[in-house]
Amino acid sequence: MLFFSLIAMTYAETAPKKPKPLLDNTVPIAPEENIAKGNIMAGFSVSLVQADASDLDIIVGDLYDLDGYTLSVDAFGGYFFKDALAAGIRGGYSRTKYTLHFSLLEDIADVDQERKYLSNGFYVQPFLRNYLKLFDSKSIYFFNETSFQVAYSYGISQVDDTEDISKTRTQSLSFKLGLNPGVDIVLVEGFAFETSVGLLGLSSSMTDIEENGEATSNIDYNIINFKINLLSLDFCLVYFF
């Protein structure tokens, strides 16, 4: 009996151990780390895209003048109610304005127009973010953010073709549920550089269109997006305190 017990103990010690899943290999969070319970994080980003052109020849006509910009401001804050787990809210504002004067198909239709466009948009986005500490380092943290966004925007477009002026107003309300994985890289004490990308998006949008003071159409659509667009990476600075 003793012989068989020794054989069983030897086999248990030498038998290969089943590898643990990746998420079970996370490194414990120390109390002084940025993502420890009780800490607060905050971040912001600003984006400005400007366009300016004049007297350009295009294939189907001429572009006489183009002047415009898009300004976006975003900020967020969150509280770590558990180690590596934070809840918070994000908000943002965007404004787009441009003037475009062009002519098309001069020998066929002779279209000569000046278009002016102005829009403003706002959104709020509650989120839940869980961090993964895969390395024994206090400088790099991976995370996944689950969020629900509510956005509202309105805009007005004016078209002047030298004979008539028409105005189009649009109002849009949208909802979006998304998953955004990313990484925080600590640069100095308390400050980190953050980048993330959209992995999954479920969105619904309702748009009302009014032309020259009269309601003309409503557009409703739903989108399920499983694509990863590496050209739309988000970057921002994050402060932990």
HEC letters along 90-101: EEEEEEEEEEEE
Query: Tokens for 95?
Result: 């404004």
Contacts of 6 (CB under 8 A, 6+ apart): none
Q: How many domains does the chain have?
A: 1
Q: How many residues does the chain have?
A: 241
CA geometry: angle 171, 172, 177, nearest 5 deg = 165
Q: What is the DSSP string of 12-49?
A: HHHSPPPPPPGGGGPPPPPTTSTTSTT-EEEEEEEEEE
* CATH number reported for the structural domain that contains residue 121 in this entry: 2.40.128
Q: What is the DSSP string of 158-225?
A: EEE-SS-EEEEEEEEEEEEEEEEEEEEEEEETTEEEEEE---EEEEEEEEEEEETTEEEEEEEEEEEE
pLDDT given for residue 126 in this prediction: 96
Residue pair 141/130 in contact by the 8 Å Cβ criterion: no
Q: Whole-model pTM above 0.85? A: no
pLDDT given for residue 149 in this prediction: 92
Residue pair 78/38 in contact by the 8 Å Cβ criterion: no
pLDDT tens series, the chain, 241 aa: 544 454 444 444 444 555 545 445 567 788 888 888 999 999 888 888 877 666 555 554 555 567 788 899 999 999 999 998 999 999 999 999 887 766 655 555 556 667 788 899 999 999 999 998 887 778 888 999 999 999 999 988 877 666 677 788 889 999 998 888 899 999 888 889 988 887 777 888 888 888 877 767 777 777 777 666 665 678 888 899 9
Q: Which domain holds residue 133?
A: 2-240
For residue 142, give the nearest of 161, 129, 153 by alpha carbon: 129
Burial class (CB within 10 angstroms; exposed 0-12, middle 13-18, buried 19+) of 230 = exposed
